[in-house]
């Protein structure tokens, strides 16, 4: 029998010890990023360039994928003398990563990577590796962005978020609870929201009295609409941070009216966490240019303009191309995440030197409805399907209230158990009130702007 202390240590003390250490490192990075934000735009550009050069040299030394690719192009890292040269390098796609994950792993990190999967909002699940430093830095960058919205580490924070899918183990659930308690946070599962149980979400907010609410935009707007329609008063947080999809102005107004506090727009994705966020001026989103390089590429062209070039005139719109300057384990050099954004050359009244995005488009995820009154945010599907092996692309279409069509492109790893898993997970949230039709196809057409719409609702607006 394992001693009780050993069990306690493994499940209780060690996670605390580890998060204590991790927290210290994350705090050191957070302090560094806090200082960087006030540098002049030129200084930030110089810092970014230095970090990019270091990354490229590392890729040349250690990452077989780039060694081969650059050799084929006849170039070395020394040939890349500025961002214009850099913009000539080929982009990295999800397909590249799926086909060459092993080759993209740096030699010295081969056995030390952590992994994460994403369903992304582009409907193509992806598994990728990252280093511990990269993870801690991402967390720090996220905190810096959340601080602009008035959040602070340790403040009571309520997440209206995606819940667990699959079967989390009891140890895992316990660790989650411990973590949430230690970090003063509570998570509400937005996937279980229905018209009928809205009041229980309002009750949970009243009971927890959060300073900060971080929420998927779709479910938050519906809760806000319900609060306004029913006249229900609710505990007033100090700030609300929208996540996972763009917060549009009309949605911001509804949320602010219902909750009586400012709501902030952020832009992130699972591959990099927070990419850009609004500061207290709420006049564009500051790009985390000391941590990432964000370029905007004209669709169909090789070259791109730099969101962080302070000399570019006016605004420019293009496909988002991102380089993570700190993931040395599996470096993403010029990764296309499928979003489209508009950058502006204007500076922000707050005085931060980080460049601005005017807006981000692209993550179009329609909510799905059921006869039982569920309103399932579009994020549910990428979140759930990211763990399905061999699923290359998918799209969910709702034409009737009682029916969902799941169209899939499957790869070698997909089998009967994958399908059973999908059916089980969907049934868990929507019950049997809705029929799930699964269909396999060779390809799923993109929208005219080159995006894959992951969830499409064609219900008439009187229903949807």
Strands 368-369 and 356-361: unpaired
Angle at 253 between CA 249 and CA 259, to 5 degrees: 140
Site membership for Zn ion, residue 279 (CB under 5 A): yes
Comparing CB distances to Zn ion, the nearer of 223 and 348 is 348
Task: Name which of residues 297 to 316 contact Zn ion (CB under 5 A).
Answer: none
Rg over alpha carbons for the chain, rounded to the nearest Å, is 22
* Cα(452)–Cα(405) distance, integer angstroms: 15
Comparing CB distances to Zn ion, the nearer of 348 and 360 is 348
Phi/psi of residue 99, nearest 5 degrees? -80, -25
* Cα(90)–Cα(102) distance, integer angstroms: 19
- Beta-carbon contacts of residue 284 (< 8 Å; ≥ 6 apart): 278, 344, 346, 348, 356, 357, 358
| DSSP assigned state of 107 | G
Question: Could you tell me the smallest distance in angstroms from the CB atom of residue 279 to Zn ion?
Answer: 3
Comparing CB distances to Zn ion, the nearer of 352 and 374 is 352
Size of the site for Zn ion (CB under 5 A): 5
Question: Could you tell me the smallest distance in angstroms from the CB atom of residue 310 to Zn ion?
Answer: 14
Segment interacting with Zn ion (CB under 5 A) among 85-93, 172-180, 247-255, 281-289: 281-289
Question: Could you tell me the smallest distance in angstroms from the CB atom of residue 297 to Zn ion?
Answer: 25
Angle at 351 between CA 350 and CA 355, to 5 degrees: 95
Segment interacting with Zn ion (CB under 5 A) among 53-61, 228-236, 278-286, 316-324: 278-286
Question: Could you tell me the smallest distance in angstroms from the CB atom of residue 427 to Zn ion?
Answer: 46
Question: Could you tell me the smallest distance in angstroms from the CB atom of residue 352 to Zn ion?
Answer: 5
| Binding letters toward Zn ion, positions 342-381, x by CB under 5 A | ------x-x-x-----------------------------
Site membership for Zn ion, residue 287 (CB under 5 A): no
Segment interacting with Zn ion (CB under 5 A) among 30-38, 48-56, 272-280, 383-391: 272-280
Question: Would you say 227 and 256 are in contact if contact means Cβ atoms under 8 Å apart?
Answer: no
Question: Could you tell me the smallest distance in angstroms from the CB atom of residue 330 to Zn ion?
Answer: 32
User: Which residue has 């499928």 as its token pair?
Assistant: 338
Question: Could you tell me the smallest distance in angstroms from the CB atom of residue 48 to Zn ion?
Answer: 18
Comparing CB distances to Zn ion, the nearer of 189 and 281 is 281
* Cα(126)–Cα(223) distance, integer angstroms: 31
Bridge partners (DSSP) listed for residue 114: 130
Segment interacting with Zn ion (CB under 5 A) among 4-12, 279-287, 361-369, 434-442: 279-287
Question: Could you tell me the smallest distance in angstroms from the CB atom of residue 278 to Zn ion?
Answer: 8
Best CA proximity match to 193, nearest among 216, 172, 213, 209: 216
Segment interacting with Zn ion (CB under 5 A) among 12-20, 46-54, 111-119, 271-279: 271-279
Comparing CB distances to Zn ion, the nearer of 188 and 343 is 343
Question: Could you tell me the smallest distance in angstroms from the CB atom of residue 288 to Zn ion?
Answer: 13
Strands 375-376 and 391-400: unpaired
Question: Would you say 445 and 331 are in contact if contact means Cβ atoms under 8 Å apart?
Answer: no
Question: Would you say 84 and 290 are in contact if contact means Cβ atoms under 8 Å apart?
Answer: no
- Beta-carbon contacts of residue 49 (< 8 Å; ≥ 6 apart): 82, 83
Query: DSSP H helical segments within 149-231, as ranges?
Result: 170-182, 198-208, 217-230
Comparing CB distances to Zn ion, the nearer of 221 and 341 is 341
Comparing CB distances to Zn ion, the nearer of 227 and 341 is 341
Site membership for Zn ion, residue 444 (CB under 5 A): no
Strands 435-440 and 455-457: unpaired
Question: Could you tell me the smallest distance in angstroms from the CB atom of residue 362 to Zn ion?
Answer: 23
- Beta-carbon contacts of residue 45 (< 8 Å; ≥ 6 apart): 289, 308, 309, 310
Comparing CB distances to Zn ion, the nearer of 75 and 350 is 350
Comparing CB distances to Zn ion, the nearer of 336 and 348 is 348
* Cα(234)–Cα(42) distance, integer angstroms: 45
Comparing CB distances to Zn ion, the nearer of 273 and 357 is 357
Comparing CB distances to Zn ion, the nearer of 185 and 352 is 352
When binding is defined by CB under 5 A, the residue of 281, 342, 346, 347 that contacts Zn ion is: 281
Longest distance between any two alpha carbons in the chain, whole Å: 70
Strands 315-324 and 368-369: unpaired
List contacts with Zn ion (CB under 5 A).
Answer: 279, 281, 348, 350, 352
């Amino acid at each position: 029998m394992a001693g009780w202390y050993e069990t306690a240590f493994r499940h209780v003390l060690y996670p605390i010890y580890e998060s204590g250490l991790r927290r210290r490192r994350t705090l050191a990075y957070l302090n560094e990023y806090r200082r960087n934000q006030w540098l002049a735009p030129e200084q930030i550009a110089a810092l970014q360039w230095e970090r990019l050069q270091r990354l490229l040299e590392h890729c040349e030394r250690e990452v077989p994928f780039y060694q081969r690719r650059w050799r084929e192009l006849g170039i070395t890292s020394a040939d890349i003398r500025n961002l214009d040269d850099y913009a000539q390098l080929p982009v990295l796609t999800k397909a590249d990563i799926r086909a060459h994950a092993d080759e993209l792993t740096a030699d010295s990190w081969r056995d030390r990577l952590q992994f994460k999967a994403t369903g992304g909002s582009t409907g193509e699940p992806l598994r990728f590796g990252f280093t511990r430093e990269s993870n801690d830095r991402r967390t720090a960058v996220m905190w810096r962005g959340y601080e602009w919205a008035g959040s602070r580490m340790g403040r009571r924070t309520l997440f209206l978020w995606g819940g667990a899918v699959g079967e989390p183990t009891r140890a895992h659930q316990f660790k989650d609870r411990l973590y949430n308690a230690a970090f003063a946070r509570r998570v509400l599962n937005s996937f279980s929201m229905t018209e009928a149980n809205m009041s229980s979400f309002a009750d949970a907010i009243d009971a927890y009295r959060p300073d900060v609410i971080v929420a998927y935009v779709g479910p938050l707007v519906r809760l806000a609409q319900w609060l306004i329609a029913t006249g229900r008063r609710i505990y007033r947080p100090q700030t609300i941070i929208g996540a996972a999809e763009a917060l549009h102005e009309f949605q911001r107004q509804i949320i602010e009216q219902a909750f009586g506090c400012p709501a902030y727009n952020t832009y992130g994705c699972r591959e990099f966490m927070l990419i850009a966020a609004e500061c207290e001026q709420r006049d564009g989103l500051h790009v985390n240019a000391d941590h990432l390089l964000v370029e905007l590429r004209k669709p169909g062209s090789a070259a791109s303009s730099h969101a962080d070039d302070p000399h570019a005139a006016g605004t420019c719109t293009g496909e988002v191309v991102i380089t993570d300057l700190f993931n040395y384990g599996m470096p993403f050099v010029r990764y296309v995440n499928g979003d489209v954004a508009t950058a502006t050359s204007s500076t922000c009244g707050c005085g931060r030197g980080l460049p601005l995005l005017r807006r981000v488009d692209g993550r179009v995820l329609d909510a799905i409805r059921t006869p039982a009154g569920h309103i399932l945010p579009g994020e549910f599907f990428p979140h759930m399907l990211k763990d399905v092996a061999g699923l290359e692309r998918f799209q969910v279409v709702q034409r009737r209230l009682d029916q969902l069509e799941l169209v899939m492109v499957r790869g070698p790893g997909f089998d009967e158990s994958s399908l059973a898993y999908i059916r089980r997970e969907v049934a868990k949230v929507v019950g049997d009130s809705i029929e799930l039709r699964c269909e396999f196809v060779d390809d799923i057409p993109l929208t005219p702007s080159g995006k894959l719409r992951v969830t499409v609702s064609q219900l008439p607006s009187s229903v949807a």
